[in-house]
Structure formats: structure tokens, C-alpha cells
Amino acid sequence: MGAVEEAVHLCERGFSVQLRVIQGGDLITNQEVVEIAEANLLPIVSELYELEGYDMRPVQAHRGGRNVVYTCEKAGTEAKMLRIAFLPDRTREEALGEVEYIRYLHEHGGPVPNVIRSKNGNLLEEIAHHERVYRICLFERAKGIKLADNRYRYREGVPITEYYYNCGKVLGNLHRLSKGYTPVHRRRHFLGIYNAAYLDDLIPNSLARLKAKLTELIAALAGLDSGHDAYGMIHFDFNDGNYHVDYDSGRITLYDFDNSCFGWYLYDLADLWRSGLGWVASEPDAVKRRSFMDDYFNTAIAGYRSETEVEQSTLDKLPLFINVTLMENIVDTFECMWRNGEEPACDEALSYLIKCLEDDIPYMGFFHDIYASDEPFEYEIRRL
């Protein structure tokens, strides 16, 4: 059974698991988890990972986050990051699949912080509290800082093109190592997460045209090559919020593999393309925006190819996978609404993504009349 066939075979199981989560019932908020952690979990975690004397502080969570993360700092020691996963939409096998993959990458020189074993020798610990299981992982802290924390200023005296190149290089390194990876515990496949049945239930019926376009998109993916050079473990959330830049060397360290899955390497490259948009989003001239993006992506691909090969025929499918990233963004937005108990609604940003897919506007509309540099990636609110 090939990768895509296996994913289709697993769709039904993935569909039922995701539905159970978004329909609520036993869900819990991030803040409630912080309160439970402070009162009940952290003392156990501190003993499991020998963190006595560490200052443990929660990191501000983003909307729809599925984990509570703590920084763990102590004078004279390297900082660590503690993650507490609390949503029930991942199996224990999938959770192990993530940390084992990270461990493999680190052991083979990959650009990731290591997973730290507990004193029991485990990469993953589970703590039961009030009929809920919390999954605990401890990581080294990635060296450097987020680009945003330095106001998107790069290394002094170094051209920004080094950063573009290194963004491609870190993904190339990741994909090169993934091509040699044989999992013990498996993560889900892309088409086991995104399938027509799940999307039909998740997305409001008022968006029938969108549903039809997403079904077409999934069908197109099912027909693609899933061979060794095209398909494997991917990060699936590549953006500057999920890596640190070492301002001494320019080295990038990638983290947050919580969404990692088996998928097409080109998906991560589509995220890499999207990562360049912010540098030229305020430019009113579409011709100049396109010129910049061509130069940016060519530089990033040169970095990628310094680690692993990618054929031009593969890169020709980039517009398709940019649309796939839009699908992921749309699905994630509706999932967050369901988790938070909100009525489905479309703001300007979501309406923009939907418009691009419904009207077959390529490249996120970035070179199209729909895009306005004074109101980037916004469109009139869609009424559901």
C-alpha cells in the first residue's frame, strides 16, 4: 500500500477523531490547563525531569493553541521548554511519533533542539488528572531569538539575502534527513487529516462553493507522486514564529513539530514562499511585488538545494500547494471557532482566503487586483 493509498484508508479514522474534538463536550481552555498545571502537574513534572529550582513561567498562547508551554530557567544551566499537550485529538502513537522524529533529526545533525528524556528514560510522559491525560515533553531551548523579537531586523552588516538562503537551507536539511527516516511510531498522513467527509462536516453549508473547490483540491493531491523524493515527514507549520535565529552565526533552529505529518515536501516549500510575503506586503506595485518574490524564492531555493535536490517540474506545482496552505488556514480557523464554542463567521482575512480559492486566484492573490497593499489580505466580510 502506497503512502497516498494508506492515507485514504485511514481517512475514516481521522475523520471520527477530529469530529469528536471539534464538537466539544470534554474540551478545556488553555487558561484552565495553566491553573491545573500550577496546582497539580508542575510538581510531578519537576520531579520527573529533575527541574527543582527552575523558574517555570507559561508562554502566552496563541488563539486556538493545543498546548501549554513553559520556559524553564535556572542560573548556570541551559534554558529548557516544557510542553503540556491537553487536547484529545492525537493518539499516544502520534505523540510518540513526533518526539521520536525530533530526536532522530537532532541525532543526525538536524536544525532542531533536542528532546530531553525524563529520569525514567522516556521522551514522552503522561499524567492523568481528573479523567484527562496530559502529555508532557521537555525540550532544549532553541539558540537565538525570533526575528519578530528583534523587530524583523537581521544581523548588522549582513545582507538579508543570507536569511532567505538559510530559511531554504534549514528546510532542505530537514527534508534530506526525512528521506532517510523510518518511523517506529507513525504520524498521520496529510490526506488522513484533510478529507472530504471531515471538511464537509466542519465548514458551513452556506459555503457550498468553497466545499466543492476543497474537494477538487483534495482529489488533485491524491493523484500526485508520493515517492521517496516527493513525500515524507514534513514540518507542516514553517514560519518565523516557529524558529529562532542565532544572530552571531545566522543559523536557524526549527521547533514546534506539533503539526508534523507525512506529506509532500512541497507543502513546506509553499510555506517558505508565503514566509516572504511580509517583506514586500506594503508595496503597491504588483510588478515589483512579483519581482521581489521571484528573487526571494530563488535565493531560498538555492539554500534548499545546498542540502537536497528539488526538480523544476516539482516547483512548477507551487501554486497548487500555496492553495493547499490556504485550505489548511481555512480549516484551522473553523476548527478554532468550534473549539471555542463560537458561531462560524468570516472576517476580512478568512473571506480573502475563501475568495482566492473560490475564484481560482493563484499565489494568494498577491499579484492580483484583489490584493490591496494598504489592507493586506483582507476582503469584504462574508456573511454566513
- In terms of domains, do 204 and 249 share one? yes
Q: Cβ atoms within 10 A of the Cβ of 376, count?
A: 14
- Tell me, yes or no, whether 1 lies in a domain: no
- Of 100, 115, 140, the one marking the end of a domain is 140
Is the pLDDT higher at 203 or at 62?
203
43-53: average pLDDT: 97
Res. 181 pLDDT band, cuts 50 70 90: very high
Into how many domains does the chain fold? 2
- Residue 257's CATH number: 3.90.1200.10
How many angstroms separate the CA atoms of 211 and 59, rounded? 36
CATH of the domain at 111: 3.30.200.20
5 domain residue, yes or no: no
Residue 268 lies in a domain: yes
* 106-115 residue pLDDT tens: 999 999 999 9
pLDDT digits (tens, 9 = 90+) for 201-252: 999 999 999 999 999 999 999 999 999 999 999 999 999 999 999 999 999 9
Planar angle of CA 171, 87, 338, nearest 5 degrees = 95
The reply to whether 39 and 158 lie within a common domain is no
CA atoms of 372 and 376, how far apart (whole Å): 6
| Percent of residues, the chain, with pLDDT higher than 90 | 86
C-alpha cell at 309: 535536490
Clarify whether residues 116 and 191 are in a common domain: no
Q: Binning pLDDT at 50, 70 and 90, where does residue 64 land? A: low
Last residue of a domain, one of 116, 140, 164: 140
What integer pLDDT is reported at residue 145 of this predicted model? Answer: 98
Q: Is residue 372 part of a domain?
A: no
| Average pLDDT of span 338-360 | 93
- Same domain? For 334 and 204 the reply is yes
243-245 and 252-254: which strand pairing?
antiparallel
pLDDT score recorded for residue 302: 98
Q: What is each CA distance from 344 to 89, 126, 131, 341, 359, in whole angstroms? A: 21, 33, 30, 9, 21
71 and 162 share one domain: no
- Region 166-195: mean pLDDT is 96
Residues 152 and 279 in one domain: yes
Q: In whole angstroms, what is the distance from residue 138 CA to residue 255 CA?
A: 12
Same-domain pairing of 154 and 123: no
The x, y and z cell numbers of residue 273, run together, are 514562499
pLDDT for residue 28: 83
Same domain, 96 and 212: no
This prediction's pTM: 0.93
Does 188 lie in the same domain as 96? no
Residue 342 has a pLDDT of 87
Give me the domain span that covers residue 58.
28-86+90-140
| Residue 10's pLDDT band (cuts 50, 70, 90) | very low
Higher pLDDT, 12 or 249: 249
Q: What is the pLDDT of residues 322-340, one digit of tens each?
A: 999 999 999 999 998 888 7
CA distance 169 to 299: 10
Amino acid at 211: K
The verdict on residue 63 lying in a domain is yes
In percent, the amount of the chain with pLDDT more than 70 equals: 93
Average pLDDT over residues 45-68: 91
Where residue 50 falls (left for φ over 0; alpha for ψ -120 to 50; beta otherwise) is: left
Model pLDDT for residues 110-154, shown as the tens digit of each residue: 999 999 999 999 999 999 999 899 999 999 999 999 999 999 999
Mean pLDDT of all residues belonging to the chain: 93
For residue 85, pLDDT over 50 is answered with yes
